[in-house]
């Protein structure tokens, strides 16, 4: 009995160790994606960072997706040059601060809606397909929403505040074309990668 018990414990530890690798791995991918761009519009390249972040949530699930994104932010706080602008805590007080918090929430929400990946995802049903597309769409939307709310807050503290509605939509509308492209790209990627992720994250399902 002791031998069997030790064997089970060993397998559990190995599985846990294997799964823990995915968090820093995806955090590293998010860091690298900060420098990946699509030159779709002259003078306005599309950064792929939020695409990778939303996919991280959909592939890893709620807490792992959020943890990987939080680890990326921690790297920036510690001074590693992974942010587009200045690093450190000051980055969260900048106009981009709301989007950065939205990264973690967006990854968590996308993972929650998508659910844990399963090897059965190889044969997607209609309901499953709708859930994945909704998870991706809402993940992108949450990031934009947090960014806009933070811009509204900063605007309310300024000496010459602009109209609330203008500031709110100003944090969303300019990003719609780029995020629309990334949302479309994320759909086939999510369907293709979830069954692969399931082999390591949820092999028994």
**Domain containing 16 — which CATH number?**
1.10.1760.20
Overall number of domains in the chain:
1
pLDDT of 144 over the 70 cut: yes
Count how many Cα atoms sit within 13 Å of the Cα of residue 124 in the half-sphere of its side chain: 18
CA distance 191 to 71: 25
- Residue % of the chain over a pLDDT of 90: 49
Q: What is the mean pLDDT of residues 149-163?
A: 80
Compute the mean pLDDT over every residue in the chain, rounded to the nearest whole number: 84
CA distance 115 to 63: 11
Residue 184's domain spans which residues?
Answer: 2-201
Q: What is the mean pLDDT of residues 131-155?
A: 95
User: What does the block give as tokens for 87?
Assistant: 């690093």
pLDDT of 14 over the 70 cut: no
User: What does the block give as tokens for 95?
Assistant: 């106009």
Is 0.75 surpassed by the pTM of this model?
yes
| Residue 112: count of CB within 10 angstroms of its CB | 17
């Amino acid at each position: 009995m002791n031998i069997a018990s030790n064997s089970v414990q060993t397998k559990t530890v190995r599985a846990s160790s294997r799964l823990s690798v995915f968090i820093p791995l995806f955090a590293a991918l998010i860091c690298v994606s900060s420098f990946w761009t699509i030159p779709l519009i002259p003078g306005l390249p599309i950064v792929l960072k939020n695409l990778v972040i939303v996919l991280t949530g959909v592939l890893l699930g709620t807490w792992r997706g959020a943890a990987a994104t939080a680890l990326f932010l921690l790297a920036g706080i510690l001074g590693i040059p992974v942010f587009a602008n200045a690093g450190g805590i000051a980055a969260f007080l900048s106009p981009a601060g709301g989007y950065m918090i939205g990264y973690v929430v967006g990854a968590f929400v996308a993972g929650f809606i998508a659910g844990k990946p399963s090897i059965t995802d190889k044969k997607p049903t209609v309901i499953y397909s709708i859930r994945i597309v909704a998870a991706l769409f809402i993940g992108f939307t949450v990031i934009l929403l947090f960014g806009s709310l933070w811009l509204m807050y900063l605007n309310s503290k300024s000496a010459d505040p602009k109209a609330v509605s203008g500031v709110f939509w100003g944090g969303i509308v300019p990003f719609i074309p780029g995020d629309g492209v990334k949302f479309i790209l994320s759909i086939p990627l999510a369907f293709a990668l979830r069954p692969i992720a399931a082999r390591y994250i949820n092999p028994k399902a």
